[in-house]
């Protein structure tokens, strides 16, 4: 074995570990923002540390509900229908075969397989854990990708399942949603007169009242800024996990070129995935919301640039001695 061949696995696993550390750091930031917002609102409204308890309570309730029903909701809103793995239609046989290959390569339980009737090629994985996971593809993906490309895409989705990205993404989404709900409640509370007590206390309490008023203003600012911070962190986490899944997919397929070709085909396709929205876009292998659409906002882009992902895969191909060609 050459020195270069020995170096490749070390570099590969180091990159995976780096992405994981970065992801947990970003989650910690979201938790801190949620706690700060809860504390500021709590003290501004007289609840004190109860505001933190309320914030964490909202996140917990949302987490439990989404944990058990989130995948079913995603499939329902995406208009997906389940494929019978035992007797699939001829059109879906290759999808079933490739999914079985990739889940065996990853040592994973069989996921539920779904198909979305849409000519735009794309795919995603969801679920709370590998034992309760689902992989969905569009009919456009099955029609427009060859077997090598499909293997790369399914390997990517199986990597999301094996890396527990499906649970990770769920966690971040719930925390960000909790921040948005709490901020929205406080802004409405203030609009309907919830801040009057603070103003009255300010008039009667002198310096203490002034500090309370300042804290109330800080809570208002946080209520506006915190959801934006949460969305930015969510997008950053999603970008990190996508890069990680690309790298892990290579471990399953041993063929970075197939995934690189698939990413280019999906990205270049002009079709718009109608069922996708801002709440589900981070799930897909390639952002389904095209840059020319009004709903596109690059600031909150949930995926790394396609060119960057393809270059990383081509670099891996070069280290493996494969021709880094995307055709």
**Catalytic site residues?**
157
DSSP assignments along 165-217, one per residue:
HHHHHHHHHHHHHHHHHHHHHHHHHIIIIITHHHHHHHHHHTHHHHHHHHHHH
| Distance from C-alpha of 288 to C-alpha of 18, rounded to nearest angstrom | 27
- Please name the residues in contact with 266: beta carbons below 8 A apart, sequence gap of 6 or more: 121, 122, 141, 145, 153, 285, 286
Q: Classify residue 275 by its DSSP letter.
A: T
Element (H, E) at 223: helix 207-253
| Distance from C-alpha of 295 to C-alpha of 277, rounded to nearest angstrom | 8
Q: Is 295 helix (H, G, I), strand (E, B) or coil?
A: coil
Q: Please state whether beta strands 80-82 and 112-116 pair in parallel, antiparallel, or not at all (unpaired).
A: antiparallel
**CA torsion, ordered 103, 108, 114, 119, to nearest 10 deg:** -40
């Amino acid at each position: 074995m050459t020195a270069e061949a020995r170096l490749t696995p070390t570099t590969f696993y180091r990159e995976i570990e780096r992405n994981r550390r970065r992801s947990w750091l970003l989650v910690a930031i979201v938790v801190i923002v949620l706690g700060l917002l809860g504390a500021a609102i709590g003290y501004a409204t007289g609840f004190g540390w109860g505001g933190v308890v309320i914030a964490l309570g909202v996140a917990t309730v949302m987490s439990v509900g989404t944990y058990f029903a989130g995948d079913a909701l995603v499939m329902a809103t995406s208009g997906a229908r389940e494929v019978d793995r035992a007797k699939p239609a001829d059109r879906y046989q290759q999808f079933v075969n490739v999914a079985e290959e990739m889940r065996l390569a990853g040592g994973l339980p069989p996921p539920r397989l779904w198909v979305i009737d849409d000519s735009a090629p794309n795919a995603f994985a969801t679920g709370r854990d590998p034992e309760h996971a689902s992989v969905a593809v569009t009919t456009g993906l099955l029609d427009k990708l060859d077997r090598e490309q499909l293997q790369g895409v399914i390997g990517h989705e199986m990597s999301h399942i094996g890396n527990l990205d499906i649970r990770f993404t769920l966690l971040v989404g719930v925390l960000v949603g909790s921040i948005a709900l709490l901020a929205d409640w406080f802004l409405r509370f203030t609009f309907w007169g919830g801040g009057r007590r603070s103003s009255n206390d300010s008039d009667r309490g002198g310096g203490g009242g002034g500090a309370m008023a300042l804290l109330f203003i800080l809570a208002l600012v946080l209520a506006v800024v915190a959801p934006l911070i949460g969305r930015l962190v969510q997008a950053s986490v999603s970008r990190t996990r996508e890069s990680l899944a690309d790298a892990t997919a290579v471990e399953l397929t041993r063929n970075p070129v197939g995934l690189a070709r698939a990413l280019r085909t999906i990205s270049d396709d002009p079709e718009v995935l109608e069922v996708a929205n801002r709440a589900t876009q981070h799930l897909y292998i390639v952002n389904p919301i095209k840059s020319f659409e009004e709903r596109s906002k690059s600031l909150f882009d949930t995926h790394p640039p396609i060119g960057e992902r393809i270059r990383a895969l081509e670099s891996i191909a070069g280290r493996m001695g494969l021709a880094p060609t995307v055709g």
